[in-house]
Each structure stands twice: as structure tokens, then as C-alpha cells.
Structure 1
Amino acid sequence: METFNDFLSAMLPYTEWAMLILLIGGGLFLVFKSKFLPYRYFGHAIAITAGKHDKEEAKGDVSHLQALSAAVAATVGLGNISGVAIAIYMGGPGVVFWIWITALIGMCIKFYSCSLSIMFRGKDSEGKLQGGPMFYIIQGIGQKAKPLASFFCIAGLFGFLGVFTANQFTQTFMNVVRPDENLIILGDFNWKLIVGIILALITSFVIFGGLKKIAKVASTIVPFMVLLYFLAVLVVMMTNTSEIGPSLKLIFTEAFNLDTMVKGGLWGLIILGVRRAMFSNEAGLGSAPMYHGQTKTDEPVQEGLVAMLGPFIDTIIVCTLTAIVIILSGAYLEAESNGILMTLIAFKKTLFGFGDVLLMVIVSAFALSTLFTYSYYGVKCLSFLTNAKIGKYYNWYFVGTIVFAAVASVDLVINLIDLAYALMVIPNMLAVLYLSPKVDQQMKIYFEKRKHVGT
């Protein structure tokens, strides 16, 4: 296990620069190329999500809201709770600033990639309508680009595992419930293994039901869990109002403070922010287009606008709330380990001593919704590499790795996901940048129409 972790750590530096250039450089290129138009139609994006522009005759399987909920369910999760804690642990409060910058750029990346997912939809071996990077790479660029699409899918077989979620959920359970101390033990139990098995069983009940079942469960859980988390943070802020301003100030002042950076100077901090922001909202990764590509719409730009709301919700809002609680509580100065422990300390200190229990409830909802949705991405990757019938077997592999992740170290899990994500960004962002002129054409037509009918 240690040797494998060392290998992953050694590989990461070779991929993170490509990721940085493509996400930040490529993302900024798209922002200016779009002339900021997607951002200016933010209100219209909300109206589309609410169903005001739905057409019954449009192709697709799920509504705009269901697609966004499913995509957000995969991103609004433990990446926003423990991912932010990991970032602050490694780089200090200033890393949050770079998470914000990456998320704002990521909104435009999501707009382009999810517009492409509607423009270039394909069919799997069973004739079902599909969307995602592998389809817009082949349909948009041509069969010559199939190796690029296959490379994305191979990396996705590892990147779309629920290992980080399973690992952090288990760590939360062990820190809050403390079964070794509080439960009657008959024999020498490995509680992490037991938690992993139970989590795997619960996940299997939903993921073997397919897309529509996942979308239905996700659209039910996501609004509830975001609201509950928001209310918990609101209580913390209301009882610590004097600390909110200094906490935000610390984020800005530490963003350029070379003394607080663990490694790599300013670029090290920026890369850390980019990594954790991508882990939070997955902009540029190519995951969200797989869900949005199956939305019931014939307007690519509409789906691009809906998808753009994802990074705003899960990073600008949820990650910021987490960061403020961690900073104002002083937990970032106390935690001695990576992961969710820092957030648990913050909530326990600021919510009358039982905040860690409340966070356990919230984490449970986050973890399950993320696991339900992530499995679907992996199924699509394996289906593309083989066929739809074989692709369904990914769920068995997915469920098995949940048990492995429950007992693995957090460093191994983070390195595995970071490397897989960086490898997935390369083919996806190359395709998005290459095909961006086609989105520009659609955008020009669509927004011209909106001028005449209003938003």
C-alpha cells in the first residue's frame, strides 16, 4: 500500500502543470472568448432550471433540475466539507481565495462543456441517447480522436470511484461515534471494515436501479442536505458575527503570504487551490456533461447555462461557508491530521458541543448522494470502452472499492483521485477548447433570440 502511494505521489507533479495550464489558462481563454455572456444570463439560467423553458417534445431522459441535482449531488459532498479542510490544512486560509478564482473560471468551462454534451450526443450499444466528453470528442472532432476519448474513459474508471467519500465518511463515523469506546464489542472488530461494508450495501440498493432512480433520489436529497448545512453554518455565523469579517480578511491577506505556504511558493498554493476547487465542482473534469448530456432539451446553450450554476452552488457558496466556520473557530490551528477531523472540531466548538453529531448526519446525506451519482459516471466510461451490457458491471467494482477505501489511508485516497482527475482534465479540456467555436455559434444565435423575447 505504501509503495503504491509513493508511486502516485511521484506521478502527480508531472500532471498538475498540464492541469493548471488547461484549467486556468484554457478557462480564462473561454471566459474572454465568451465575452462574459454566460455570467450575464445568470438569472435566465435559474429560470431554465425552474422549468420555465421546458419543451415536452425535446429529446432526453431527465429534466434540467434533475440533471443539475444529480451533477451537484456528485460535487456537493465531502469535497466541500473535508476537501476544504484538507486545502486549509495544507496551504492555510489563503488557499480559499484560489479555490474561488478557479470556481469562477470553472463556471465558464461548465457552460462550454455541457453545451457540447447536448450538441454532440451519441447512442450506446443498446441505442440509448448518451452525452459526455467521449461523445463530443468523437462526434465533434471525428473518429481520429477516439484514442483521446478512450484515454479519458480509462482514467475515469479510477477517477469516478467513490473512494474519497467512503474514506472520509468512515473517518467521520469513527471520530463521532467512537465505536471502540462507546459500543459493546464482541470480539476484535475492525469497525472501519464494518462501516465500509454497510455503506457498500446501502449504495448498491440505489445504483443498480439506473439513471432515473439515481436522478430521483438525488433531486430529493440534494436540496435537503444543502439547506440543512446552510442552516447549521448560519447558526454558527449568527453566534460569531464579530469573527466573520476577520475570517474573510484572513483569506485575502494569506492568499499572497509566502510564509504560510507549505510547498512550492505562490504556485504551490495556486495549484493546491486548483486541485481542491476541481475536486469540489469538477469543472473541466468532464463528469457533469455525462448527466447534462441526457437532459430533455434541444437547446445546447440552455443546458450550458444550467450547468454553470453547479460551481457557484458547490464552491462559491458551500465551500466558502465551510471555510469560514473552520477559520473563525480556530480549528485550522488545532487539527493534527488531514481530512474531515478539522471540520468536525470546528462544528463541535461552534455548535454548543454537539455540532460534530449534526455534521455526521449531514455528511451521511452528502456521502450517499455522491456515491449514488458517481457510479453512473464510471458505468458510462466502461460502456464506451466495451459495450452497455459490460458497462453495468462497473457497479460491482465500484461497490467493492468502497470497502477498500474505508480502511485505506486518506493520503493514498487523495493521491489516487488527484492523479486520475488530472489525467481526465487533459483530453476533456483539449476537446472543449478545440470545439469552443461551435458553442460560440450556438451562443450567438440563442442570445440573439433572447433579446427579442426577454430572459
Structure 2
Amino acid sequence: MTILQSIEAALAAFVTFVWGPPLLVLLVGGGLYLLIVSRARPYRHLGHSIDLLLGRYDDAHDPGQVSHRQALSTALSGTLGLGNIAGVAIAISTGGPGAIFWMWVTALVGVATKFYTATLSVMYRGRDADGELQGGPMYVIREGLGRRWMPLAILFAIAGLCGMLPLFQSNQTVQLLRESFAEPWGMVGADGSLLFDVAVGLVLAIAALLVIAGRIQRIGKFAERIVPAMVLFYLALTLIVIGSFWQEVPAAFALIFTDAFSGQAAAGGALGAVIATGISRGAFSNEAGIGTESLAHGAAKTREPVREGVVAMLGPIIDTLLICTCTALVILLAGDWQHGGGIEGVSLTAAAFAQVFGSWGPLLLLLMVLPLAFSTMVTFWYYGVKCFVFLFGSRWQSVYTAFYLGLIVIGAVASLAAVNSIIIGMYAIMAIPTMVSTLLLAQRVNRAAHDYFCALAGQTVPKRQGGLNRRGEKT
């Protein structure tokens, strides 16, 4: 066994350990608990999120840096793209079709989880080293739970630094660009791919620098322009593929449901492997309960925390229930997933598109993946730098930025198996402080939500004994 293989095996063992039953119960069970204690109230107000996205409640004088629409676009840019294309392919190649069912489960309960985490990210915003108002799990823990819970805040920030790296996006973007464009056109051969990969990595790093120089405001505007257009473009492509195999669609859904409880397609045929793979990939897809999305939603311009919670609920619906389902159907209907071996990423999705669109299939996929993958890279920089500043202050922020840009180049030539394990493992670590703090503060969100929705409906908000402030706390 080579050193690289040993590292990959150790990282795979780490992922298996951290994504064990305790974490699965915390994420899914915690999300189900939040759904129950909220009495499904968030699900009943999805229509209100559309009004918020249309700017009907925007106020330029509200605290924050970006609009509701830009905050959601930024959060989605961190999940859409390779997380929903390569991520779904990896879920199927390692956990079988049944893993998709468990991704759906994470999304259904994730709607409630995101409502709570995003609401808290505005409710308990705190000042960073420069005195700027920031949101995110580490600030929720510090401001909402107090200093004695700071170890949890530090744990999230450390895991965020490691989990919000651009390795996966860079790796899969370069792979798709090489396989769908460079190799067919004879630009690279078997021995020349390394130089090509490094060159593309450098171009991506330089382009990322131009965007992140404008911080969250420029990232938000960039995501607001890119994300909606690419979502519609991808949905159009996938619906054409699905329509080409329309007679087999019922069988594909049946396969997802039956395999979800049999585990026959998973490595070793273990049902636990299917569930763990589906939930971990679902978490990577929609980030519900992980906490990264709170870093974006915490920057929203609003004085009403519940509003951002309502907006955030759309995330799991768009990226997992809609985009991931379309990707899964494309892969299953094309049938290439049955002939692969080991972990397969974006190449599996590209092969499925090639069956319908021929040589144009991977190129069409590339047109969608490139802007979304790039937007994820710049969004992850924002997430990472917030964690870095929380831990070390803003003095060395430029050092982190240089390190991050260098990792874009390294990710272009890194091992997919190792990259996948690092990211998924860190997502598990981030979920612990996020879910623990959310569950501890859930009742404060419930009180704030009750008062907000009563006021929205024109009802008299009952005065609570002792009084409450805007955070739902007793005064």
C-alpha cells in the first residue's frame, strides 16, 4: 500500500467514524424535533419567503450587508453546482440509489432546521475583531449561550476552516473541463494533463481573487446574477434527459425506494452504509444543520430574524428536493452508474448527459458547472475567512486568502477520494456545535416566530409576563 493509499484509507475511516449513528440521530432526529416543536409553522409560511425575495420588506437602513435575495443566492451558491452534481454521483456510486432517499429525508427535515439556524444567525449576530456585525454558529453560541460555551464556537470555526476549502470544487471543475473539452479536442494527452490541471487551477485562483476582493457585497451580487440563471439552465437540460427515458422514470423511483431499505447496492451491502452515505451527501448538498449556510444568512439586511429564517427554508427545497432529484434521475436512467467502480464524481453525470446529447452533453454540463462551481469557491472563501477572523482576528486575513487561493491550484491535481473524505468529515464536525446550539435555543426562536407571524397576520401579539426583547428572551 502506497503512502497516498494509506492516507485515503485513514481519511475514509475517519469519515465512517464521525458519520456514525450519534451524528445521524443529531441531524435527522434534531431536525424532526424542530419540525415537531415548531408545529410545522415554517412549512405553512413558504409563500411569505417569495414576498421577502421580491424585496417587499427590504429596508436599506436595516443592519446587515446584503439583501434577502443576495443572502439566499450566496447560500445556494455554496451548495448548488458540484455539491448537487458530483455529490449526487458520489452518493450513488458509494451508497447506491437508496442513498437518494435519505438525501430527501435530510431535505424534508432540513427545511425546519434551516429556519431555526438562519433565524438564530440574525437573532444573535455579534461583532468581529473589526467591530463589524457578523452572523454564524460561532456568534450564535457566543452571544446566545454565553462564554462558557465558547469551546463549541471554537470547534465550529476550526472545522469550518478545514471544511470550507475549495479542494472539491477545484478538483471536479478541472476534471470536467479536461474530460469534456481538453481531451476530446486533443489539447492534452495522457502525459500532459498535469500541466493543464495546474494551469486551469491558476486561472480559477486569479478569477476568485478578483471577486473576493469585493467581500460579501460583491459575492452576493455575483451569486444573485449567476445562481437563478444556471438553475433554470440545468433544469432544462435534465428535463430533456429525463424526457428521453420517460418510460423508465417510475422504475427509477422504485429503485430508489427499495434500495433505501435493502442496501444491496452499497459497499458491502450494508443498510447502514446507504443511510450514512445519503445523510452525509444530503448534508453536503443542502447544508441544513451544518451551519455554513448561517454564515451567509447572517449577513442579511433585516431587523426581523424570523424573516431570514423563512427565506432560508427554500434552500433544501431547491438544492436537494429539486436539483439533486433531477441529477439522480439522469444518472439512474442512463445506467452508467452500474458499470463504474469506486468513487465517481462529475464524470458519472457527464457520461449520462452524453447518452442524450452526444459529445455536446459534457460541454453543456460544463457551461452550467463552471459558473456555479466558481461561485461556490468564492462563497467558501467568505465562510472560511469569517471562521479565521473569529479565531485569529483580522490581522492575518490576507495570509488566509493567499493560502486559500493556493489550495484552488492544489485541489486541481489532488486525489478525489482524499478530498471527498476531508470535506465530508469536517461537515460532520461542524454539525455538532450547530445542532447543539440550535436545539438549546429553539424555544427562543419559537417565541419570536409566534409573535412575528401573529403580527404578520394582523393579530394582536400577546404581552408575555416579564416581557421579551426582539430575540425572544425575557427582559
TM-score range, shorter chain: over 0.9
Q: Which residue of 2 aligns with 1:323?
A: 328
Tell me, in whole angstroms, the C-alpha distance in 1 between the residues paired with 2:110 and 2:395: 34
Q: Which segments of 5 or more consecutive residues in structure 2 lack a partner in the other structure?
A: 460-475
Q: CA 1:180–1:197 in structure 2 vs 1: closer, same or farther (change >3 Å)? A: farther
Deviations 1:153-204 (A, max 9, x none): 111111000111111111112211244970278x956222222222212212
What is the identity, as a one-letter code, of the residue corresponding to 1:215? G
Give 1:85 shift.
0.5
Give the conservation status (yes or no) of the 8 Å contact 2:85–2:346. Answer: yes
**8 Å CA contact retained: 1:263, 1:269:** no
What is the 5 A alignment of 1:236-251? 236-251=241-256
Measured at CA, do residues 300 and 184 of structure 1 come closer, stay the same or move farther in structure 2, by a change above 3 Å? closer
**52-61 or 403-412, which moves further after superposition?**
52-61
Alpha carbons 1:71, 1:291 under 8 Å: kept: yes
Q: Larger deviation: 58-67 or 2-11? A: 2-11
- In 2: Cα distance, 1:399 partner to 1:169 partner: 15
Tell me which of 16, 21, 26 is aligned to 2:19. 16
The residue type paired with residue 65 of structure 2 is D
Verify the 8 A CA contact 2:99 2:279 in the aligned structure 1: no
**Separation in 1 of the partners of 2:349 and 2:134?**
38
Q: In structure 2, what residue type is equivalent to 1:208? A: A
Contact 1:301 1:446 in 2 (8 A): yes
Q: 1:154 aligns with which of 146, 158, 161?
A: 158
Shift in Å at residue 355 of structure 1? 0.8
Match of 1:435 among 441, 444, 447: 441
Tell me by how many angstroms 1:261 deviates.
2.6
Aligned to 1:74: 78
Partner secondary structure for residue 75 of structure 1: coil
Q: Aligned partners of 1:6 and 1:180: how far apart in 2?
A: 33
- The one of 381, 385, 403 equivalent to 2:387 is 381
SS in 1 for 2:441: helix
Instruction: Say which of 200, 211, 215 aligns to 2:205.
Output: 200
Deviation at 1:226? 0.6
Alignment-mate amino acid for residue 297 of structure 2: H
> How far apart, in 1, do the equivalents of 2:327 and 2:257 lie?
16
Question: Does 2:357 correspond to 1:354?
Answer: no
Q: CA deviation at 1:220?
A: 0.7
Match of residue 372, structure 1, among 373, 378, 381: 378
Is this contact kept in 1: 2:119–2:306, CA < 8 A? yes
Question: Per the alignment, do residues 264 and 157 of structure 1 end up closer, same or farther by CA in structure 2, a change over 3 Å counting?
Answer: farther
- In 1, the alpha carbon distance for the partners of 2:264 and 2:430 equals 32
Q: Which TM-score applies when normalising by structure 2? A: 0.92
For normalisation by structure 1, the TM-score amounts to 0.95
Distance 1:243 1:336 in 2: 24
| Percent pairwise identity | 42
| Alpha-carbon separation, structure 2, partners of 1:264 and 1:141 | 43
2:234 maps to which of 229, 233, 243 = 229
Q: Structure 1: which amino acid aligns with 2:449?
A: M
Q: Which residue does 1:116 correspond to in 2?
A: 120
Tell me which of 247, 260, 284 is aligned to 2:265: 260
Separation in structure 1 between the aligned mates of residue 431 and residue 43 of structure 2, nearest angstrom: 23
Map 1:419-430; keep pairs closer than 5 Å: 419-430=425-436
Q: Is the 8 A contact 2:24 2:279 kept in 1?
A: yes
| Alpha carbons of structure 1 residues 149 and 82: separation in structure 2 relative to 1, 3 Å | same
Q: Number of residues paired by the alignment?
A: 453
CA contact (8 A) 1:284 1:428 kept: yes
The letter for the 2-side match of 1:327 is L
Listed as ranges, the matches of 1:396-415 within 5 Å are: 396-415=402-421
Distance 1:451 1:183 in 2: 62
Please give the secondary structure, in 2, of the residue aligned with 1:452.
Answer: coil
How much has 1:450 moved relative to structure 2?
A: 2.5
SS in structure 2 opposite 1:190? helix
The alpha-carbon distance between structure 1 residues 181 and 236, as it changes in their structure 2 partners (threshold 3 A), is closer
Whole-angstrom CA distance in 1 between matches of 2:151 and 2:263: 41
Could you tell me which amino acid in structure 2 is paired with residue 297 of structure 1? T
Instruction: Compute the displacement of 1:409 (Å).
Output: 1.0
Find the counterpart in structure 2 of residue 314 from structure 1: 319
**1:287: which partner in 2?**
292
- The reply on whether 1:191 has 2:196 as its aligned counterpart is yes
Distance 1:367 1:436 in 2: 33
1:3 Cα deviation (Å)?
3.6
Q: Output the amino acid matched with 2:275.
A: I
**Which residue in the other structure is 1:36 paired with?**
40
- In the aligned structure 2, how far is the partner of 1:60 from the partner of 1:195? 35
Residue of structure 1 in register with 2:306 after alignment:
301
Please say if residues 380 and 391 of structure 1, whose CA atoms lie closer than 8 Å, have aligned partners that are also in contact. no
Q: How many Å separate the matches in 2 of 1:87 and 1:184?
A: 29
User: How much does 1:392 deviate?
Assistant: 4.2
Select between 254-263 and 199-208 the one with higher mean Cα deviation: 254-263
Residue in structure 2 matched with residue 340 of structure 1 by the alignment: 346
Asked whether the 8 Å contact 1:20–1:271 carries over to 2, the reply is: yes
Q: Distance in 2 between matches of 1:54 and 1:190?
A: 48
For the residues of structure 2 that align with 1:13 and 1:239, how far apart are their CA atoms? 37
**More divergent stretch after superposition (35-44 vs 250-259):** 250-259
SS of the residue aligned with 2:412? helix
CA distance in 2, matches of 1:175, 1:92: 24
Whether the 8 Å CA contact 2:263–2:272 is kept in 1: the answer is: no
Q: Tell me if the contact between 2:96 and 2:263 (Cα under 8 Å) persists in the aligned partners.
A: no
In 1, Cα distance between equivalents of 2:359 and 2:184: 21
Query: Is the 2:198–2:413 contact (alpha carbons within 8 Å) kept by the matching residues of 1?
Result: yes
- Matches of 2:167 and 2:269, distance apart in 1: 27
State the Cα distance separating 1:443 from its structure 2 match: 1.0
Q: Which shifted more, 399-408 or 255-264?
A: 255-264
Residues 125 and 240 of structure 1: CA distance in aligned 2, closer, same or farther (over 3 Å): same
Change in CA separation of 1:344 and 1:184 when aligned onto 2, cut-off 3 Å: closer
Q: Is the 8 A contact 1:381 1:391 kept in 2?
A: no
Structure 1 residues 239 and 7: alpha-carbon distance in aligned structure 2, compared to 1, 3 A threshold: closer
User: SS at 1:115's partner residue?
Assistant: helix
Contact 1:335 1:341 survives alignment (8 Å): no
Amino acid across the alignment from 2:58: D
1:276 aligns with 2:281: yes
The answer to whether the 8 Å contact 1:62/1:296 transfers is: yes
